[in-house]
Amino acid sequence: MPDGRPPDGPTPIPQRAVLVLPSTGEFDSRTYRIATTLVGRGHEVTVLARRSAGTLAEEVHPAGYRIIRVAPSAADGVPFPGLQRATRAILGRARRVTGRAPAPRAAAPATPGTPDSTAGAGVTGDDPTAPPTAPSAPVRRASLPRRVVSGAIRRAAIPLTIRSHVRLARTAAPAADLYHGMAYMGIPVAIDLGRRHGAKVVYDARDIYLEARNLARMRGPARWLLARAERGWAHRSDRVITVNRAYAEVMAERLRVPMPLVVMNCSYRFDPPVPRERRFHDALGLAPDQRVVLYHGGLFPHRGIEELMTAIADVPSATLVLMGYGVLEPMLRERAASPEAGGRVRVLPAVPPEALLDWVACADVVAMPIQPSTLNHRLTTPNKLFEAMAAGVPVVASDLPGMATIVRATDCGVLCDPADPTAISAGLRTVLEAPEAERLAFGRRGLEASHTEYNWEDQVGLLLAEYGRLTGKPW
Cα–Cα distance, 246 to 453 (Å, whole number) = 18
pLDDT digits over 245-257, tens only? 999 999 999 999 9
Evaluate if residue 80 carries a pLDDT over 80.
no
- Residue 70 banded pLDDT, cuts 50, 70, 90: very high
What is the dotted CATH code of the domain comprising 16-73+159-266+456-471? Answer: 3.40.50.2000
The ranges of the chain annotated as CATH 3.40.50.2000 are: 16-73+159-266+456-471, 279-452
Q: For position 415, what pLDDT does the model report?
A: 98
Q: pLDDT at residue 50 above 80? A: yes
For residue 424, pLDDT beyond 90 = yes
Return the pLDDT at 243: 98
Q: What is the DSSP secondary-structure string of 157-183?
A: HHHHHHHHHHHHHHHHSPP-SEEEEES
pLDDT in tens, 292-314: 999 999 999 999 999 999 999 99
Question: What pLDDT sits at residue 219?
Answer: 76
Mean pLDDT along residues 2-26: 83
Q: Which of 111, 446, 141 is nearest to 270 (CA)?
A: 446
Q: Of the given ranges (111-120, 278-287, 333-342, 407-416), which has the lowest mean pLDDT?
A: 111-120
Query: 302-360 pLDDT, tens per residue?
Result: 999 999 999 999 999 999 999 999 999 999 999 999 999 999 999 999 999 999 999 99
CATH number for 279-452 (one of 3.40.50.2300, 3.30.360.10, 3.40.50.2000, 3.90.650.10): it is: 3.40.50.2000
DSSP β-ladder status, 58-60 and 66-70:
antiparallel
Average pLDDT over residues 209-213: 81
What is the pLDDT at residue 221?
84
pLDDT at 74 over 90: no
CB distance 117 to 109 below 8 Å: yes
Beta carbons within 8 Å of 324's beta carbon, 6+ residues apart: 119, 295, 296, 297, 298, 299, 349, 350
Phi-psi region of 363 (alpha: psi -120 to 50; beta: other; left: phi over 0): beta
Beta carbons within 8 Å of 83's beta carbon, 6+ residues apart: none
pLDDT digits (tens, 9 = 90+) for 434-469: 999 999 999 999 999 999 999 999 999 999 999 999
Q: How many residues can be counted in the chain?
A: 475
Decide: helix, strand or coil at residue 461. helix
Tell me, what amino acid is at 308?
Answer: L
